[in-house]
Amino acid sequence: MNALDVKAALGAVKKGHVMTQAAFDAAAPALRLDLIRLQQALRKADFPVLIVLEGVFGAGKSEFIQLLNEWMDPRWLITHAYPEKTDRTPPHPIFWRYWRDLVPDGQIEISLSGWYSAPLRDRAYKRLGKKKFTSALDDIVEFERTLTDDGVLILKYWFHLGKAIQKKRLKSLERNSLRHWQVTKRDWADWKRYDSFIATADALIARTDTASALWKIIDGGDPCRRCHTILTDLRDRLSAHLKARRLAARKKSKSPPKRRAVASSPDSLAKLDLTEAISKEDYGKEVERLRARLHDLYIRTKDEKIATIVVFEGWDAAGKGGCIRRLTSGLDARDYQIFPFAAPNDEERAHHYLWRFWRQVPKDGRIAIYDRSWYGRVLVERVEGFAQVAEWQRAYREINEFEGDLTDHGIELVKFWLHIDRDEQQKRFRERERTSFKRWKISQEDWRNRAKWDDYEIAVNDMVKRTSTPAAPWRLIEANSKPFARLKVIRTLCEAWEQRLDG
């Protein structure tokens, strides 16, 4: 929808014809039945529905939520309403709370005063410049696209009222001795800025009205017509989406067999010198020195409320656990948390793959260590075919956007790839098998993964090339020598923190 269309649409709603209560009552039973049946079909579907409500005060958003809760099974219909952020510097990235609250497949979420509210209000009150406003909207488009690409049905409704009608409604509410509390000073302040709000809404809708997440403008003037319009739209779009997803699922199961991967990115791994090593003595001295340096820096990041995420990826048996333990022994256990990520559980599988990683994003001043991470999408899920080709291919962009959200918020993101060669891995696997108390660390699956070494190598090189950004480059660690790798990991983190603190 371009800007002119929006203006026309916002204007047109004033002239909408009236729907009588009798007409609505006549249409209601069939519509209600349709919606119930669709909700039941949705329960078994592989996507959630996200209903976004925005608009002017008094245009009927709350009434719509009440009605939907009455008509549908409220157990699978969750409303999230967000208080205005009073905190000028929230401790998490902007989208963190929206990710955290996302409902799983099969459910409907209504988002009230969600991600559009802050840019809309701040811009209408001129607290936000045009450039930042546009950039905030672009972030929203990225956020919504990440969801819709995964199958989420996003329905966005703008509840509209003309300026004069809104004034009348505010006045009438105020005169009602029992309802006057619904009108606050802020509502009048907003009304005084009506034109600014609508101009901002106009720009906002034009910029965020994408093919996969359309806005629909709802005339809030007439309660019956308003409800009928939105419920009909909800029914039609949900029904169409259910059909489309079923069709897509059928196609997917017929997709051609996987071809072998072909190397296209430069072989960054080959450039590493795996003979790098260090004597036990030097290691002992150096590790103490580095730990003291690390501790000093970590106290400073804590003071400056910088959050850090350290990601560990690497070949099986590359020594991730050992590196993590050496790293954390220089930190205070109260300030970091280690998150080991294995295969997703049922609840996680019923969400976007990024959901479980978003949930663990640390607050300002804290450290999160991810033992494996979202890069599973472009590594194991790609190589094993758990993700469709289109899915892992678009994951590079999604990951870069996700990491952009983190680093834009000020999180220090340090990503390690621990690299060993085939022979070293075989040696370590065999040692694990020989040593009784290490045997649990090795399974048939490890040997199976090893057989796909070439495919993984291509996937790793692609990952390094496509997700090394200036704010979050990959740090490749030569790990044939465990002591060398452990030192380099701590040193690299020290350097990243130093650059951040002093740079």
- Point out which span in 73-81, 158-166, 248-256, 383-391 binds a copy of itself (CB under 8 A): 73-81
Please say which residue, 378 or 442, places its beta carbon nearer to a copy of itself.
442
Q: How many residues bind a copy of itself (CB under 8 A)?
A: 58
Please say which residue, 2 or 435, places its beta carbon nearer to a copy of itself.
435
Of the candidate residues 15, 21, 22, 29, the single one contacting a copy of itself (CB under 8 A) = 29
Our finding on whether 289 is near a copy of itself (CB under 8 A) is yes
Sequence letter at residue 262: V
- Point out which span in 88-96, 271-279, 433-441, 493-501 binds a copy of itself (CB under 8 A): 433-441
Helix (H) or strand (E) holding 81, with range, is strand 77-81
Our finding on whether 343 is near a copy of itself (CB under 8 A) is no
Please say which residue, 122 or 335, places its beta carbon nearer to a copy of itself.
335
Q: Encode 23-51: b = buried (16+ Cβ within 10 Å), e = exposed.
A: ebeebbeebbebbeebbeebeebebbbbb
Please say which residue, 53 or 213, places its beta carbon nearer to a copy of itself.
53
Closest approach of a copy of itself to the CB of residue 336, in Å: 8
Our finding on whether 396 is near a copy of itself (CB under 8 A) is no
Sequence letter at residue 338: I
Residues 6+ apart with CB under 8 A from 416: 310, 311, 312, 313, 314, 323, 474, 475, 477, 489, 492
Closest CA to 445 of 305, 298, 343: 343
Distance (Å, whole) CA 67 – CA 78: 13
Of the candidate residues 12, 33, 247, 270, the single one contacting a copy of itself (CB under 8 A) = 33
- Point out which span in 217-225, 251-259, 264-272, 288-296 binds a copy of itself (CB under 8 A): 288-296
Our finding on whether 40 is near a copy of itself (CB under 8 A) is yes
Closest CA to 84 of 113, 56, 60: 113
- Point out which span in 190-198, 291-299, 393-401, 423-431 binds a copy of itself (CB under 8 A): 291-299
Please say which residue, 342 or 451, places its beta carbon nearer to a copy of itself.
342
Our finding on whether 172 is near a copy of itself (CB under 8 A) is no
C-alpha separations of 500 from 77, 300, 311 in Å: 44, 11, 17
Bridge partners (DSSP) listed for residue 108: 49, 77
Contact 419, 481 (CB under 8 A): no
Our finding on whether 21 is near a copy of itself (CB under 8 A) is no
Of the candidate residues 236, 282, 288, 303, the single one contacting a copy of itself (CB under 8 A) = 288
Contact 491, 477 (CB under 8 A): no
Our finding on whether 44 is near a copy of itself (CB under 8 A) is no
Closest approach of a copy of itself to the CB of residue 108, in Å: 13
Q: Encode 145-164: b = buried (16+ Cβ within 10 Å), e = exposed.
A: bbbbbbbbbbbbbbbbbbee
Closest CA to 94 of 50, 140, 132: 140
Our finding on whether 276 is near a copy of itself (CB under 8 A) is no
Interface residues for a copy of itself in 255-274 (CB under 8 A)?
Answer: none
Our finding on whether 232 is near a copy of itself (CB under 8 A) is no
DSSP conformation letters of 445-457: HHHHHHHTHHHHH
Please say which residue, 282 or 423, places its beta carbon nearer to a copy of itself.
282
- Point out which span in 86-94, 308-316, 325-333, 442-450 binds a copy of itself (CB under 8 A): 325-333
Site string (362-381) toward a copy of itself, x via CB under 8 A: ---------x----------
Secondary structure E strands in 152-238: 153-160, 215-219
Closest CA to 54 of 127, 148, 133, 118: 118
Our finding on whether 189 is near a copy of itself (CB under 8 A) is no
Please say which residue, 5 or 34, places its beta carbon nearer to a copy of itself.
34
Of the candidate residues 223, 321, 404, 410, the single one contacting a copy of itself (CB under 8 A) = 321
Residues 6+ apart with CB under 8 A from 90: none
Could you give the 3-state DSSP secondary structure of residue 307?
coil
- Would strands 153-160 and 49-55 be described as parallel, antiparallel, or unpaired? parallel
For binding to a copy of itself (CB under 8 A), which residues are involved? 29, 32-33, 36, 39-40, 62, 65-66, 69-71, 73-75, 79-84, 112-113, 177-182, 288-289, 291-292, 295-296, 299, 321-322, 324-325, 328-329, 332-335, 337-338, 340, 342, 345-347, 371, 436-437, 440-441
